[in-house]
Every structure is written in C-alpha cells, then in structure tokens.
Amino acid sequence: MCFHQKVRCVCGKEEAYIFHKDNILPEEVVIEVFCPECSNRAEWNPEEMIRDGGWIIHYDMEIAEYFFKQKKISYRLTPEFIFDKEYCSWYGLSPHDIEENRRLSEEIAGIKHASLRDYYEAFRKRRIERVKELQKQGFRKAMDPH
C-alpha cells in the first residue's frame, strides 16, 4: 500500500505532492521542502537532502533508517536511494505533476466525448512535451522514467 502527502515549502508559496512507496516511511521522514524560491535558505547537507529541479527535500535520516530496519531492508541509506527508489519522492515526475495531469485532462476533456483515441493521443503528446520540459529543468524522475 502507498500513500501521498501534500507538503508546503519553507517560504509557504508552493506545495509539493510527495509519494511514499509501500507505506514504509512515515510523513515525518520529510523534515522540510524548499521550492526554487526558498532553496537558498537551506543549509545544504548532502547526507540528509536531495536536490531535484531546483527543489530540495530534507529527510530525517534517523527516522528513515529506523523504518527500513523494521522492514528488514538493508541498503546503504542515502537521500538519493530514498528518492530514486520512490520510498519518498514526488508523486509523479515533479512536485506538481499530479495537479498538472489533472489540469491537462480537464483541458482536453471535450475531445474525449468526440473521440477517445484523439483524447489519448492529445494527452500523450502534451505529456511528452512536458517530460521534455522537466528534463531541461533537471528533474531526476523525468530523466529516468523507469
């Protein structure tokens, strides 16, 4: 089972959707999130933080280690491992991906009634364009979409 949470960044201007794979790590593993505007406030610590597309997630690595041990997952625990293996990363390819997909679906909803095939094709083309934008912005999950 998986869950997601919505976290406000340090400056309060942005929210990020965060996904927790297999319910292994609790919400408390995320200490704070920095959007591109407030990321300069972060006291960078590569042992506890990951950068992605201008955003920073600060993890509580002690909490992460505790819960991984409880599940008998042994691996050299790093922020990259937690993020890249989706134990605690964006819900989708970026902090706003879930909202962007919903808006896109609503924008092209009229096509769906005329032709489901055209709807899927329009959605696919727009998503491909968006993934390319996210790649240019440096989002890790857009670079390697499993």
**Residue 128: per-residue pLDDT:** 95
Domain limits, the chain: 3-90, 97-143
Please compute, for residue 109, the number of CA atoms within 13 A of its CA located in the half-sphere on the CB side. Answer: 6
pTM score: 0.90
**Residue 79: per-residue pLDDT:** 98
59 vs 35, 56, 119, CA distance in Å? 15, 10, 39
**Residue 134: per-residue pLDDT:** 96
Q: Name the DSSP letter for residue 127.
A: H
Going residue by residue through the chain, which has 146 residues, state the pLDDT in tens, using 9 for 90 and above: 667 899 999 999 999 999 999 999 999 999 999 999 999 999 999 999 999 999 999 999 999 999 999 998 888 899 999 999 999 999 999 999 999 999 998 988 888 888 899 999 999 999 999 999 999 999 999 996 55
